[in-house]
Amino acid sequence: MAKILVNETEITVLEINEKDYISLTDMVKGVENGLSLIEKWLRNKNTIEFLGIWEEMYNPNFNSPEFEGIKNAAGLNRFILSVKQWIEKTNAIGIIAKAGRYGGTYAHKDLAFEFASWVSPQFKLYLLREFQRLKEAEQKQLGWSAKRELSKINYHIHTDAIKQNLIPAEISPLQTNIIYANEADVLNVALFGMTAKKWREIHPDLKGNIRDYASINQLICLSNMENLNAVFINNGLPQSERLKELNRIAIQQMLVLEDVENKKLLK
């Protein structure tokens, strides 16, 4: 569930079966007799035809014969059609009536934009802009999560090199953990300029660790550094030399990544 703000109106966006559904109820909550607009739109013959075409394209269980009857009746003075009736009669999936905390009438984004255009072309343009911002933010978060997972996978390569080369056979679990933490801080200092302990002291109110708050570029660099440090450890380089080399590489890679990002922004 997400919220977007359109002309000071907060609109709910739900993910249903991996598809985005936008609240029609939220769209009209600031309009007098707004809820009646949804049913009025649904009774419109052009709307019925549009909904039917969409359902036939994306819904294999759509009841086309029932839809034809509804379409033929649309436009008559006695024609009445609620969201519930539309769903029950045609097995429609494009519009849903949801109960509970985030209850109301929701429509697949394709249909929601059509409704917004019917209400107000200007409102539709604002809705499209804010929805696109939401999708861009989600893509950035998805990219961050992917890089974080890659960093975690490479972490095992890093710890295996530590285990094979830096941890003696006769050593206590506490001493082992200290060695792992010390080597993790080699990467932290090289990339972030501080140890994990120092970061926690500076940010006592934040949950997680320093890497949970890294940027995408930092995570890309961290993933590379974990692999490189594993190679350095296997080659027997002292920690002081590894730290200097990793810091040099971190600075170089961050400059390259930020330059690439700036060029994308300029485009």
Residue with tokens 């940010």: 203
Greater pLDDT, 192 or 261:
192
Confidence of residue 153 (pLDDT cuts 50, 70, 90): low
Residue 174: half-sphere exposure toward Cβ, Cα within 13 Å: 0
Mean pLDDT across 144-153: 62
Confidence of residue 257 (pLDDT cuts 50, 70, 90): confident
pLDDT tens per residue, range 23-82: 999 999 877 777 788 989 998 999 999 999 999 999 999 999 999 999 999 888 888 888
Residue 18 confidence (pLDDT): 82
The answer to whether residue 141 scores a pLDDT higher than 90 is: no
pLDDT tens per residue, range 227-239: 888 899 989 999 9
List all residues 6 or more positions away from 58 whose beta carbon is below 8 Å from its beta carbon: 93, 94
Q: Which residue type is seen at 261?
A: E
Residue 179 confidence (pLDDT): 87
- Cα separations (Å) of 41 from 106, 164, 176? 14, 69, 68
Q: Both tokens of residue 54? A: 């969409």
pLDDT tens per residue, range 180-194: 888 889 999 999 999
Domain ranges of the chain: 2-119, 140-266
Confidence of residue 199 (pLDDT cuts 50, 70, 90): very high
pLDDT tens per residue, range 200-219: 999 999 888 888 888 888 88
pTM to 2 decimals? 0.55
Residue 265 confidence (pLDDT): 52
pLDDT tens per residue, range 87-126: 999 999 999 998 877 789 999 999 999 999 998 888 888 8
Q: Both tokens of residue 77? A: 């003075």
